[in-house]
Amino acid sequence: MHSAHLLLQADAGRADDVAAFVQALPGCTGAVVTTGPYDVIAVVDLTDAALDRLVHRAKRAPGVSDVRVCTSPDVVRLP
């Protein structure tokens, strides 16, 4: 199981739609609309194969212009 952050760029005016779409995908634990170079950041916890499928679906979502993935194979939990 890996934790990953999806960094998504949305078409103008579509960030809320993209966040809602991605958040509804299995394995997504949250998605937020942001400012800066990425319009939406989503957090997912999935196996490698499931992550590949989720990224493929996210790239095809209405309003998505780009998706970057940052994986975290080892999650550090602070006390």
Query: Which residues does residue 32 pair with via DSSP β-bridges, in sequence order?
Result: 41
Tokens found for residue 33: 């609309």
Predicted local confidence at residue 72, as pLDDT:
79
> What is the total count of domains within the chain?
1
Within-domain flag for 77? no
Within-domain flag for 79? no
10 Å CB burial of residue 18 (0-12, 13-18, 19+) is buried
Structural domain that includes position 55: 2-72
Predicted local confidence at residue 3, as pLDDT:
85
pLDDT digits (tens, 9 = 90+) for 16-41: 999 999 999 999 999 999 999 999 99
pLDDT digits (tens, 9 = 90+) for 57-78: 999 999 999 999 998 766 666 6
Within-domain flag for 61? yes
Non-local CB neighbours of 70 within 8 Å, separated by 6+ positions: 4, 5, 7
Q: What is the CATH number of the domain that holds 17?
A: 3.30.70.920
